[in-house]
Amino acid sequence: MKRLLSLASTLLALACAAPAMADDAPDALVKRVTEDVLQIVRGDKDIQSGNTQKAIALVEAKVLPHFNFNHMTALAMGRDWNKANPDQKKVLVTEFRTLLVRTYSNALTAYKNQTIEYKPFKMQPADTEVLVRTQVNQPGGKPVQIDYNLEKLDEGWKVFDVVVAGVSLVTNYRDTFTQEVRAGGVDGLIKSLQTKNKASEAKAAERK
């Protein structure tokens, strides 16, 4: 889990660009917005110095056009997703989105001049789910493989999972979520997520 969090800044590649056109190819989308976000971070001394609130504001403003949080939350919950009623699902998506946004934002402030290498991409015209592979090169460290799972919706391509060094960022939460549901039901999971998000918000306020 710590490895995923430490690399989460690289996952913001899709979070900080202008909304994509519906006909953007998924590999072109990943490359374009990756370069955009790296340029933004390199030029923002506040974010580099640890301004989490500014990073959160940046992510909140830009991430939603590029991620399918409904699908991501369903993947994270696995079979337990079907145990939730519509109202519970709505709250779960909101809280899980907040958790991921704060994770990404905290990691974004720790950006240290990573560069991205884009792997060869293939897809068929009829494909509605694709994998875009990249490699993160870190000064003084080993390269890390980061793969983006995207799906084609009416409004364009959306990310529904990111795989870091072979580990799914979304399904990495599944064991914890399963335990929470087993112990306290869906409402127990909701309460746990809300508690974690409030704690993160309090820490951010203290740093500010």
pLDDT digits (tens, 9 = 90+) for 161-171: 989 889 998 98
Mean pLDDT across 83-104:
93
Mapping DSSP to helix (H, G, I), strand (E, B) and coil, where does residue 16 land? Answer: coil
Q: Which residues contact 34 (CB under 8 A, 6 or more apart)?
A: 13, 14, 116, 134
DSSP sequence for 24-57: --HHHHHHHHHHHHHHHHHT-HHHHTT-HHHHHH
The per-residue pLDDT for 131 is 97
Q: How far apart are CA 31 and CA 9, in angstroms?
A: 15
Question: What integer is the mean pLDDT of 67-73?
Answer: 95
pLDDT at 57 over 80: no
Residue pair 105/131 in contact (Cβ under 8 Å)? The answer is no
DSSP symbol at 17: S
Q: Which amino acid is at 82?
A: N
DSSP string, 63-123: SGGGB-HHHHHHHHHGGGGGGS-HHHHHHHHHHHHHHHHHHHHHHHTT----EEEEPP---
pLDDT for the residue numbered 153 = 95
Q: Is 139 helix (H, G, I), strand (E, B) or coil?
A: coil
Q: Using the predicted structure, report yes or no on whether residue 118 has a pLDDT greater than 60.
A: yes
- At residue 207, the pLDDT reads 64
Quote the pLDDT of residue 15: 46
Residue 122 pLDDT level (bands cut at 50, 70, 90): very high
The two three-digit tokens of residue 89, written as one number:
């699902």
Cα 83–201–18 angle (5° rounding)?
A: 80
How is the chain split into domains, by residue range?
2-207
Q: State residue 62's pLDDT score.
A: 66
pLDDT computed for residue 109 by the predictor: 72
Question: What kind of architecture, by CATH, is found in domain 2-207?
Answer: Roll (3.10)
3-state secondary structure of 198: helix
Residue 33 burial (CB < 10 Å; 0-12/13-18/19+)? buried
